[in-house]
Amino acid sequence: MSKIENKILTDLVYEKLKVMIDDGVLIPGQKINKLELSQMLGVSQTPLNDALSRLAGEKFLEQRSRQGYFVRAFSDEELVALFEMRGALEGMAIRLCCENATADQIEELSDCFEGFIFPLNDKSYMEYVHADKTFHEKLIRYSGNPILWELSRTSGYMIKSNMKGLTRPPEETYPEHMAMIQALKDHDGDKAQQLMIQHHLRSRNVFRSKLKKKEPNIR
Amino acid sequence: MSKIENKILTDLVYEKLKVMIDDGVLIPGQKINKLELSQMLGVSQTPLNDALSRLAGEKFLEQRSRQGYFVRAFSDEELVALFEMRGALEGMAIRLCCENATADQIEELSDCFEGFIFPLNDKSYMEYVHADKTFHEKLIRYSGNPILWELSRTSGYMIKSNMKGLTRPPEETYPEHMAMIQALKDHDGDKAQQLMIQHHLRSRNVFRSKLKKKEPNIR
DNA sequence: TAAATGTTTTTTGTATACAATATCTATTGA
DNA sequence: TCAATAGATATTGTATACAAAAAACATTTA
């Protein structure tokens, strides 16, 4: 039997704000006007403050002394760092999946990318975006590591790096995903981890090359 | 010229609480009495609340609806997960060090474990504990990844897993550290990452074997 | 015009009050 | 003696008020 929900206002505000960030109602870099926002949500400033602090702890927001809260924006340099982090975490996740995931779960992961025929049309492109997201999410869930799972749901880092669309075209990433799925089926943790790390480092390189083009002008 | 500090009360409370958790004044599992604590610190409940929320976001505390805040305690299962996470993150850190760290920085990393002669006496054992901590910390700093660096300073996961003493004896970990340092000097990122992951997974196994001994009784 | 100064407005950060809820304690009945 | 209930106490969660600081605006001066 499911528990009766008896949530606290703070939690409701917290969840609402997270959705607002996810939906782009609150834009990266934007200043949060506490008074305005609390009136908009129909709550006092106290539960809003609590929610804002928590979101700052989770890196969705940034607090600047005496200036208030701002929606966290990631520089190109930080985006590079973000993909390195994801490579690390998801690399470990897929390794653990090789050890812990059931046959059914591996089947499910494999099914994510079933039936794509290239070149993709607009509809199947959208489906690929979705497949990509669920694949990486399920990997974490089936890794059996509760900390990774918690991080993926509550860390602004993980969620924000997942938000923007694809960084590389499906033609490029599809074979990489296939190779990972093969490694999963072979229960080859070392191989799978290597592949996942490479997968994310290649995405990182997209941002890093952007960065390098800028730098010379600054010097 | 250094800026004049004009910190907010919330931040001071936040930092104080972090020290209190680190020093064991606040014990894992313990309930936080807000009224008592606010009086102890000589502040009102508002800045305390903000600090508590932030610390919950960073996973130092846990908030249970209508019961308040508790110092976060990690089960054996979560400790296993924690070391898997550290393996992932520090594995990436050492890989990046192979790419980005300067010769001086690699020298500095190597120096951490200079001059240990086995068997260690009480004094040199303590020095080894310290060396271990600084080695892993510097790796993250010299990786050039600002997100990893931020995480290592503000994530309850990272800090808490670092708090307890050594999980394995120096005799066992010393050669592992030496191998990593060699890989660093060779700028062999793949190798270094592999070694680091194995290093932490072995520590994980210490907790995992504890877990397995318990399980059969539950069934 | 543009920079510097002074004034007003807005917004933050903090304290405090209070109602709702949980926890503890005492009492009753089996 | 123990469990169940009712009452008292403590603690949380929320609203509100207000001082201090920042931001915006207007005014003066070069």
Report the number of distinct structural domains present in chain B: 2
Does the CB of B44 sit below 7 A from strand C?
yes
pLDDT at B218 exceeding the cut of 50: no
Whether residue B125 is found in the same domain as residue B153:
yes
Domain limits at B119? 76-218
Whether residue A167 is found in the same domain as residue A83:
yes
Task: Give the CATH number of the domain where residue A44 resides.
Answer: 1.10.10.10
Q: What is the mean pLDDT of residues B63-70?
A: 96
Whether residue A123 is found in the same domain as residue A67:
no
Residue A62, beta-bridge partner list: A70
- Give per-residue pLDDT as tens, A46-102: 999 999 999 999 999 999 999 999 999 999 999 999 999 999 999 999 999 999 999
Lowest-confidence region among A42-46, A143-147, B156-160, B180-184: B156-160
What's the confidence (pLDDT) of residue B118?
Answer: 87
A170, A178 Cβ separation under 8 angstroms: no
- Give per-residue pLDDT as tens, B127-158: 999 999 999 999 999 999 999 999 999 999 99
Does the CB of A217 sit below 7 A from strand C?
no
Q: A4 lies in a domain?
A: no
Q: For B8, which of A65, A87, A89 is closest by C-beta distance?
A: A65
Residues in chain B closer than 8 A to A154 (CB atoms)? 57
pLDDT at B69 exceeding the cut of 90: yes
* Residues 6+ positions from A81 with CB-CB distance below 8 Å: B145, B146, B147, B148
In chain B, the percentage of residues whose pLDDT exceeds 70 is: 96
How high does pLDDT run on average in chain B?
A: 94
Whether residue A20 is found in the same domain as residue A54:
yes
Does the CB of A68 sit below 7 A from strand C?
yes
Whether residue A158 is found in the same domain as residue A124:
yes
Whether residue B44 is found in the same domain as residue B92:
no
Q: For A147, which of B6, B82, B91 is closest by C-beta distance?
A: B82
Residue in B15, B18, B55, B92 to test binding to A, most A beta-carbons within 10 Å: B92
Say whether B31 sits in a helix, a strand or coil. strand
Verify whether the Cβ–Cβ distance A88 to B92 is below 8 Å.
yes
Any idea what DSSP says for residue B114?
A: T
- Give per-residue pLDDT as tens, A183-218: 999 999 999 999 999 999 999 999 999 887 766 654
Using CA atoms, how far residue A215 sits from A201, B99, B172, in Å, is: 20, 18, 44
* Chain B residues bordering chain A (beta-carbon distance below 8 Å): 6-8, 10-11, 46, 49-51, 53-59, 65-66, 77-78, 81-82, 84-85, 87-89, 91-92, 96, 145-148, 150-151, 154, 157, 190, 193-194, 197
Which residue in the block uniquely carries the two structure tokens 């938000």? A163
Verify whether the Cβ–Cβ distance B54 to A56 is below 8 Å.
yes
Q: B25 lies in a domain?
A: yes
Last residue of a domain, one of A49, A71, A93: A71
Q: How far apart are CA B219 and CA B216, in angstroms?
A: 5
Whether residue B195 is found in the same domain as residue B95:
yes
Confidence band for B160, pLDDT divided at 50, 70 and 90: confident
Last residue of a domain, one of A71, A89, A121: A71
What's the confidence (pLDDT) of residue B215?
Answer: 64
Does the CB of A45 sit below 7 A from strand D?
yes
What's the confidence (pLDDT) of residue B219?
Answer: 37
Task: Give the CATH number of the domain where residue B168 resides.
Answer: 1.20.120.530
